[in-house]
């Protein structure tokens, strides 16, 4: 894995974790009872994005380190996941 591959891997992991963290502890305007005119009742009352970005980054760094270690150590290679034998050509 080169530098570009590591950056792309981190970005993919970061966004996947971010989309999992976004709905945690979500309180909508409808739940609170303070619906702003012109917005749907399902809109977030307070998003807490700064905290969610910090959590996402921390989890992503740990996951990236584990996955990068597995890739760089050679425990799993392309030939291990070549189920149809197309890489032997």
Query: Tens-digit pLDDT profile for the chain (89 aa)?
Result: 899 999 999 999 999 999 999 999 989 999 988 899 999 999 999 889 999 999 999 999 999 999 999 999 989 888 888 888 888 76
Describe the crossing of helices 49-73 and 3-21 by its angle, rounded to 10 degrees: 140
* pTM exceeding the 0.85 threshold for the entire prediction: no
Alpha-carbon gap, residue 58 to 40, rounded angstroms: 32
CA dihedral 63, 67, 70, 76 (to 10 degrees): 140
Alpha-carbon gap, residue 25 to 39, rounded angstroms: 20
pLDDT, averaged across the chain:
92
Which pLDDT value is given to residue 89? Answer: 60
Q: Which of 11, 44, 10 is nearest to 25 (CA)?
A: 44
Give every CB contact of residue 59 below 8 A, 6+ residues apart in sequence.
17, 21
Neighbours of 56 (CB within 10 A): 21
């Amino acid at each position: 894995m080169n530098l570009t591959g590591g950056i792309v891997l981190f970005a993919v992991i970061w966004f996947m974790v971010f989309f999992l963290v976004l709905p945690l502890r979500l309180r909508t305007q409808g739940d609170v009872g303070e619906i702003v005119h012109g917005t749907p009742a399902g809109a977030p009352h307070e998003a807490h994005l700064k905290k969610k970005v910090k959590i996402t980054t921390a989890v992503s760094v740990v996951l990236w380190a584990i996955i990068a270690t597995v890739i760089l150590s050679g425990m799993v290679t392309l030939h291990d996941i070549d189920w149809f034998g197309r890489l032997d050509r």
